[in-house]
C-alpha cells in the first residue's frame, strides 16, 4: 500500500522522509508568525501520513511561495513544492477553510481568465475575482476596495479596458482541458 509520505513526495517531486526537523524552513519563513501550522510541522505531518490535518490548515494558503525554505533546507526537501501539493490536495478534497476562500477564489479566477484569453486580462480578473468572492459571501467591501486605485492606474496608462488575447485561444483551452481532466 502506498503511504501518504510517498503520495506527497511524489506530488511534490521531493523526499519528505529526508526531513530531520531542524526547523530552518520555519525560521526563515516570512509568514510563519501568522501561520496556524509551521512549515516544518506540515512536512512532519506529510511524513507521518497525517496530511489530513495539513490540508485543512490556513498556513498552506498564507505561503507566498518565496522559496526561502526550499533554498535553505539542509536536506534539499522542496518545502515550497510540498506547500503546492498540500494546496492541490486541499482543493481536491474540498478542505480549504473559510478563512482562505479569498485566496482560493483569486487563484481560480486567475486560471479561468487565462483559459479564456491565453493572457491575463487584469481588469476582467479583478471584476471576476470580486464577484466570485462576493458570491461566496467572503466580504462585501472587497467589491469596492480597489476601485480607488483603478482611476490612478488608468491615468498612468497602466489599466487597459480591452485586454490582450492570444490568436490561438482554442489550443489554450485544449491544454487546460487535458491538464484538468488528468487530475
Partner 1 sequence: MQIGYYPGCALHGSSNDYEMSVRATLTALGVQLKELDDWICCGATAAHSINKKLSMALPARNLAIAERDGYSEMLAPCPMCSMELLKTIKELSDSPSLRREIAEVIELPIKGKTQVVNIIQVLQMVGVERIREAVKRPLSEFRPACYYGCLLTRPAKILKFDDPEQPDSMEEIVEALGAKPVQWNYKTECCGAGMTMANEDTVISLSHKILSNAEAHGANCVVVACPMCHVNLDMKQRDIERRQGARHRLMVYYISDLIGLALGLGEHELGIDRHFVSAPLAAVKE
Residues engaged in binding partner 1 (CB under 8 A): 11, 13, 30-31, 34, 62, 64-68, 70-71, 78, 80, 84-85, 87-88, 91, 102-103, 105-108, 110-111, 114, 118-122, 126, 129, 146, 149, 152-153, 156-160, 163-164, 166-168, 171-172, 174-176, 178-180, 182-183
Report how far residue 34's alpha carbon sits from residue 103's, in angstroms, rounded to the nearest whole number. 15
Q: Least CB distance from residue 92 to partner 1, whole Å? A: 10
Query: What backbone phi and psi angles, to 5 degrees, belong to 173?
Result: -65, -40
Contacts of 123 (CB under 8 A, 6+ apart): 159, 160, 161, 163
Q: To which residue does cell 512549515 refer?
A: 39
Cell of 53: 490535518
CB of 80 to partner 1, least distance (A): 8
The residue among 1 and 141 lying less far from partner 1, judged by its C-beta, is 141
Q: How far is the CB of 32 from partner 1 (least distance, A)?
A: 12
Place of cell 517531486: 13
2 or 155: whose CB is closer to partner 1?
A: 155
Q: Exposed, middle or buried by CB within 10 Å (0-12, 13-18, 19+), for 109?
A: buried
By beta-carbon proximity to partner 1, the closer residue of 47 and 128 is 128
Tell me which residue of 63, 43, 65 sits closest to 54, measured CA to CA: 43
* Shortest Å, Cβ 145 to partner 1: 8
Shortest Å distance, C-beta 46 to partner 1? 16
Indicate the residue among 3 and 67 with the shorter CB distance to partner 1: 67
Amino acid at each position: 500500500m502506498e503511504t501518504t509520505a510517498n503520495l506527497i513526495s511524489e506530488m511534490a517531486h521531493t523526499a519528505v522522509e529526508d526531513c530531520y526537523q531542524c526547523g530552518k524552513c520555519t525560521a526563515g519563513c516570512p509568514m510563519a508568525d501568522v501561520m496556524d501550522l509551521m512549515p516544518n510541522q506540515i512536512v512532519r505531518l506529510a511524513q507521518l501520513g497525517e496530511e489530513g490535518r495539513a490540508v485543512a490548515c490556513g498556513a498552506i494558503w498564507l505561503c507566498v511561495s518565496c522559496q526561502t525554505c526550499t533554498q535553505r533546507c539542509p536536506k534539499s526537501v522542496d518545502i515550497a513544492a510540498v506547500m503546492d501539493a498540500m494546496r492541490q490536495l486541499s482543493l481536491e478534497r474540498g478542505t480549504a477553510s473559510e478563512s482562505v476562500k479569498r485566496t482560493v477564489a483569486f487563484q481560480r479566477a486567475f486560471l479561468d481568465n487565462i483559459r479564456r484569453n491565453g493572457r491575463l486580462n487584469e481588469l476582467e480578473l479583478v471584476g471576476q475575482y470580486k464577484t466570485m468572492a462576493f458570491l461566496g459571501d467572503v466580504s462585501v467591501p472587497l467589491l469596492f476596495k480597489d476601485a480607488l486605485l483603478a482611476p490612478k492606474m488608468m491615468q498612468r496608462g497602466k489599466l487597459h479596458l480591452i485586454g490582450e488575447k492570444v490568436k490561438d485561444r482554442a489550443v489554450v483551452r485544449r491544454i487546460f482541458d487535458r491538464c484538468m481532466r488528468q487530475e
